[in-house]
Amino acid sequence: MTLRVAILISGSGSNMVRLVEDMVGDHPARPCLVLSNVASAGGLGKAQARGVPTAVVDHKPYGDDRAAFEEALHSALVAHGTQIICLAGFMRVLTEGFVRRWEGKMLNIHPSLLPKYKGLNTHARALEAGDTQAGCSVHLVTPALDDGPILGQRAVPIQPGDTVDALAARVLVEEHQLYPAALRDFCESVSKHNE
């Protein structure tokens, strides 16, 4: 049975595009939804252009009521038959209640070599620390931020005189290879397990 993958974004959605483009042919999954918490997210148009259904669940009207926001998110995901979630530049922290409902079925890409630099400003922190390499990680989402089991990583050498933007651009190239490969492996093992 083909697995149904929802991709959650907040911005340009370049990782989302790579995931969508990879889910063809013998891939065990297909994209069922691209959902954003930001109505103006550039990725929404890219998903529509590729024939993927889109939805917006804006967090702002919910204010501090994270549970109500996440209930709306959950309903949209269920309405589209979601079985697996990929967070791809989705910039909302999810509460334990939501994560537990999707635990073992939700992947995230993070722009650092976890466990280093959880949270924001990862590239600036790597440069400030004088690291010789940066990178990206795909991991399963657990209630603690950027902390779940790692499914794959790619390292990127830091060059003398590197800037945050230059480093981020080189890491993003690796993200675009890593995430589709990690999702494919993950879906293949889920499919085998379901046989």
Q: Which residues bind ligand GAR (CB under 6 A)?
A: 9, 11-15, 43, 88-89, 109-111, 172, 175
Least distance in angstroms from the C-beta of 194 to ligand GAR: 28
Nearer to ligand GAR by Cβ, of 2 and 58: the residue is 58
Nearer to ligand GAR by Cβ, of 89 and 152: the residue is 89
State the catalytic residues.
110
Least distance in angstroms from the C-beta of 172 to ligand GAR: 5
Task: Return the SS3 of 107.
Answer: strand
Phi, psi of 58 (to 5 degrees): -75, 130
Least distance in angstroms from the C-beta of 63 to ligand GAR: 22
Within 8 A by CB and 6+ apart from 171, the residues are: 111, 123, 134, 135, 136, 156
Angle between helix axes 14-22 and 164-194 (nearest 10 degrees) is: 30
- CA dist., res. 179 & res. 194, Å (int): 22
Nearer to ligand GAR by Cβ, of 9 and 73: the residue is 9
